[in-house]
């Protein structure tokens, strides 16, 4: 395979070590050529505009500082629709997968897959225009089936505020004061959330909040 017929790839990831290693892996497959690296979305924008060759596929990390994967995919899908985007993430959360696909990604890969899967995914994205692993396909189906959705996990604004306050050292009484509500109303929120989210106590609520990004440490 000559250099001309190789598929051109760009890697966007803030972890230099990973990006560099990934390049070696792609080279070892023999049919790919890495044009350049970028350490975040805006770095990618600049380098893409200056590049003399355009990539066929962008391997895009989601968790990045400055301009994350969602923003980058969104921008690229309006700027150059012919460049395919393969999202790379450690997160197998359904919400994240769907959000990334809605931002225009052509495929979604978990970082804990076998290296051979990456080759398979890249070739599929190039030839078929999309790639979906079993997990992603399952998430897609779930989202299309409204019956299987979990409406009990939809939260109202006051519930979100309460949950994030419950992740602090405040007592329920103090939370009530802060929200200008009666402690008894807070008691009602608590009881309602415990049964809807199937948790047993306040620690369960904190864990739920952290899992679903309703509260962030530090």
Partner DNA sequence: ATAAAGTACAGGGTTTATCCCCTTGTGACT
Partner DNA sequence: AGTCACAAGGGGATAAACCCTGTACTTTAT
What's the closest the beta carbon of residue 82 comes to a copy of itself, in angstroms?
26
Look up residue 161 and give its two tokens: 């505020």
The H or E element spanning position 59 is strand 57-61
User: At 91, is the secondary structure helix, strand, or coil?
Assistant: coil
What's the closest the beta carbon of residue 214 comes to DNA, in angstroms?
16
How many C-beta atoms surround the C-beta of residue 8 within 10 A? 18
With CB cut-offs between 5 and 8 Å by kind, which of a copy of itself, DNA, none does residue 1 bind? none
- Count of residues near DNA by CB under 7 A: 20
Residue with tokens 């998430």: 139
| Interface residue list for a copy of itself (CB under 8 A) | 14-18, 20-22, 24-25, 27-28, 88, 90, 109-115, 117-118, 166-169, 171, 199-204, 206-207, 210-211, 217-218
Distances, alpha carbon 136 to alpha carbons 49, 96, 107, 128, 202, in Å: 31, 10, 8, 16, 32
Residues in a beta bridge with 86: 59, 107
Is residue 202 a contact residue for DNA (CB under 7 A)? yes
The H or E element spanning position 179 is none
Is residue 20 a contact residue for DNA (CB under 7 A)? no
Nearer to DNA, 127 or 173 (CB): 173
What's the closest the beta carbon of residue 109 comes to a copy of itself, in angstroms?
8
Residues in a beta bridge with 57: 9, 84
Q: Which stretch binds DNA (CB under 7 A): 5-13, 44-52, 83-91, 171-179?
A: 171-179
Q: Which residues bind DNA (CB under 7 A)?
A: 156, 158, 171-173, 181-185, 187-191, 194, 200-203
């Amino acid at each position: 395979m000559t250099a001309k017929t190789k598929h051109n790839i760009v890697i966007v990831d803030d972890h230099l070590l990973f990006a560099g290693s990934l390049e070696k892996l792609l080279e070892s497959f023999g049919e790919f050529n890495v044009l350049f690296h970028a350490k975040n979305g805006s770095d990618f924008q600049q380098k893409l505009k200056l590049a003399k060759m355009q990539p066929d596929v962008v391997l895009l990390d989601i968790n990045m500082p400055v301009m994350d994967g969602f923003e980058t995919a969104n921008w690229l899908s309006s700027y150059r629709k012919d460049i395919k985007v393969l999202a790379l993430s450690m997160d197998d959360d359904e919400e994240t997968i769907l959000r990334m696909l809605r931002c225009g990604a052509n495929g979604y890969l978990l970082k804990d897959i076998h290296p051979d899967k990456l080759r398979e995914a890249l070739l599929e994205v190039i030839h078929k225009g999309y790639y979906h692993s079993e997990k992603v396909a399952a998430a897609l189906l779930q989202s299309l089936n409204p019956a299987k959705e979990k409406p009990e996990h939809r939260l109202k604004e006051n519930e979100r505020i309460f949950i994030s306050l419950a992740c602090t050292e405040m007592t329920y009484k103090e939370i009530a004061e802060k929200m200008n509500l009666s402690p008894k109303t807070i008691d009602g929120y608590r009881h309602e959330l415990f049964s809807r989210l199937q948790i047993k106590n306040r620690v369960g609520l904190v864990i739920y909040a952290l899992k679903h990004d309703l509260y962030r440490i530090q």
